[in-house]
Chain A
Amino acid sequence: MYKNFLRYLISAFFLLGLGTSANAEFKVGFVYVGPTGDHGWTYQHHEGRNAVEAAGIKTTFVESVPEGADAERVIRQLAQSGHDLIFTTSFGYMDPTNKVAKDFPNVKFEHATGYKREHSNVSTYSARFYEGRTLLGHIAGKMTKTNTIGYIASFPIPEVIRGINAMTLAAQKVNPNIKTKIVWVFTWYDPGKEAEAAQALIDQGADIIMQHTDSTAPVQTAEKAGVWSFGQASDMQRFAPKSILTSIIDDWAPYYVERAIAARDGTWGQQDTWHGLKEGMVAMAPYNSEMGADLVKEVEQLQKDLASGKAHSFTGPIYDQKGNMLVAEGKVADDGMLAGMSVYVKGVEGDIPK
């Protein structure tokens, strides 16, 4: 009796909550892990949201949502307050997204960089950032004088290792003496730590700095030290105008607009998206003229070939650090292998932290 009463009470409250806030207008919600002004990861997702808004669809965002216990409440609140499609833009939202999706079968969810799609209303998406890394590797191999490339890495997850390997393979192709030195900072965003890591790499002889972290500190450190660098996630050129050769840009806008329109028009379906240069989810900022016209031409050609499928970032023969063959001559790595990549290729110095 008491239990039943409680159940009615709960459902009544739930309905009340839904009834007051639900309305007919189609709305898209975004959950960000950082502030919209980080000039990196979240900034680019926010640009994507602006594009959705520009396409005439109403959007909402919540920024700096911790990847802990709070994420689930924020996602649930968005679902409850009449949002029809919700983008959760950080890996740490994977479990909360799936949990909320179960309770809101009519709301569509899109989770960035995750691999769990436990319900039919959850899609995942990510970008083939490694294709951009291949271009950076080609440029780095040609531009370095010390044959040492400094790489600031966040966490030893497949995505980061894939980037290190793609860059190293491309650099080796144009400069067989290349060495990749890595500093693991174990953070996505910590300007202080990233600057220290950049300085340490420069002190070890690196004359090219690249990063798989989100702040502008590494490129600024490189600018001060007078070495080359590459921007991450967004065009960071204005933070280090002399030092930056180019930036890998995450361009989520076309995808967000396409998915929002699909959800509005009822054509949205579950999918796992992994787009790259071809679709434009990975784009390159303008190349620094210091590279010289010939190199720019080469890189632009490589960019075209990667986009058309004529070239692939992981074309055999590829060996691991111990000399075991990973990909045979004439073959390319399949997506399964790329998704689970957890060893360095030959030429990368050090061990993956365990």
Chain B
Amino acid sequence: MEVPLIKIEKRNDAPMALYFFTPFIAIILTILGGGIIFYILGFNPIEALKFYFITPISNLYGFSELLLKATPLCLIAIGLSFCFKSNNWNIGAEGQLTFGAIVGGGVALLFYNQDGFYILPLVILAGAIGGMIFALIPAILKTYFNTNEILVSLMLVYVSKLLLDYLVVGPWSNPEGFNFPETRQFSESSRMPLLFEGLRIHAGIFLALAAVMLSWFILYKTYLGFQIKVSGLSLKTAKYAGFKGKTMILVVFMISGACAGLAGVGEITGPIGQLHRMISPDYGFTAIIVAFLGRLNPFGIIFASLVVALTYLGAETAQIFLQIPKYTGQVFQGMILFFLLASDYLLFFKVKILNLKKNELRH
């Protein structure tokens, strides 16, 4: 009697060119998978996919909204790539975003009704520092007390969200706002300048592009970048090479936190214009998908942030035009990650189906 047996083996000859190609495979599979879901839900899959992926960006307004949505995702993912590349699992970017927004928003409120060219840069700087400080907590606990950074950074998300709740309900709430949980609208002096009249896209996009350039430079042209990459490939090698692991951990968390903080401050000084409880629809978590879809590569992340941003816009358009449930957006994001991980797995491991005689199994 023959029994099929599945055996999983590591491939030694995994082609690296394919490694950068799997995100595209994942996206194509997601689109196919989405088409099947739409078909099962009773929609014309071609039409649904058109409303999902083409209609949202078929005019300049839509395209500018895509860039607006991609900006925070790109910024956070760039920061996360430093952590992930060096084997530091910062899951709490959402918390760092929130804390950055709190600190930046606090400065904006401090300068309420004041004018000055220096105010916006101060607000932005405060946001970056806020995110940085908040990311340092899990980093310090990891380096000096050996705690698990995944847990600590994740739990701190709730801490920062509760702090924001407290501030907008209590001490920072708008005195003329009938106790609604929100602050005053920031003055013009602490708002991001708009790039085009009538569109919401703002100067924050340059922060994201600068972050992309800078991260490319750091990762590929500096000693720090080399350390990060070696630590990511093998911690033992890094130690053997004499790298000071602790400093590097602190630095990558600081970079990551600063980027998330910038994303937060970009949202509140850009499209939102005040602090309230809904400043981020979980950008900090979605950016994890973006970072991996972009292969932790700065330019890959630009591309990935646009793709993921499109799943948000597409979900809205598909509901407006076809009344497809909006939650399909989350299904798409989930599928992208699933197919990406699956194709990576198949890239590095091969699945062998062996047919063995039953008595051979015992050996």
Contacts and interface: CB of A to CB of B under 8 A. Distances in A.
Interface of A: 6, 9-10, 13-14, 16-17, 20, 29, 60-70, 72-74, 76-78, 80-81, 91-92, 95, 103, 115, 155-158, 186, 340, 342, 352-354
B217 interface: no
Nearest to B185: A95
Contacts of A156: 169, 179
Contacts of B317: 77
B19 interface: no
Given A74-B316, A91-B180, A69 B272 contact: yes
B196 A342 contact: no
A156 B179 CA distance: 6
A155 B61 CA distance: 36
A95 B177 CA distance: 13
B169 A158 contact: no
Interface in B237-275: 267, 270-273
B61 A14 contact: yes
Given A62-B326, A342-B178, 6 more contacts: A17-B62, A61-B319, A65-B316, A68-B281, A74-B320, A77-B320
B320 A81 contact: yes
Interface of B: 58-62, 65, 68, 165, 169-170, 178-181, 185, 196, 198-200, 267, 270-273, 276, 278-281, 312-313, 316-317, 319-321, 323, 325-327
A157 B278 contact: no
B61 A66 contact: no
Contacts of A63: 319, 325-326
Nearest to B199: A10
Nearest to A33: B278
A225 to B, nearest CB: 28
Contact of A10 (B181, B196, B273): B196
B61 A17 contact: yes
A33 B74 CA distance: 26
A155 B281 contact: no
A17 B178 contact: no
Contacts of A158: 178-179
Nearest to A6: B196
7 contacts: A17-B62, A69-B271, A77-B320, A91-B180, A156-B179, A157-B180, A158-B179
Contact of A62 (B270, B281, B319): B319
Contacts of A29: 320
A275 B62 CA distance: 38
A255 to B, nearest CB: 23
A155 B316 contact: no
A65 B312 CA distance: 11
Most A CB contacts (10 A, CB to CB) among B278, B317, B321, B323 go to B278
Contacts of B319: 60-63
Contacts of A354: 170
A80 B316 CA distance: 13
B179 A157 contact: yes
Most A CB contacts (10 A, CB to CB) among B276, B312, B320 go to B320
Given A62-B320, A72-B271, A155 B169 contact: yes
A155 B323 contact: no
A89 B319 CA distance: 17
A9 B279 CA distance: 32
Nearest to A154: B181
Nearest to B165: A186
Contacts of A70: 281, 312, 316
A16 B169 contact: no
Contacts of A352: 179
B276 A68 contact: yes
Nearest to B267: A69
Nearest to B169: A186
B278 A72 contact: no
B178 A157 contact: yes
Contacts of A340: 178
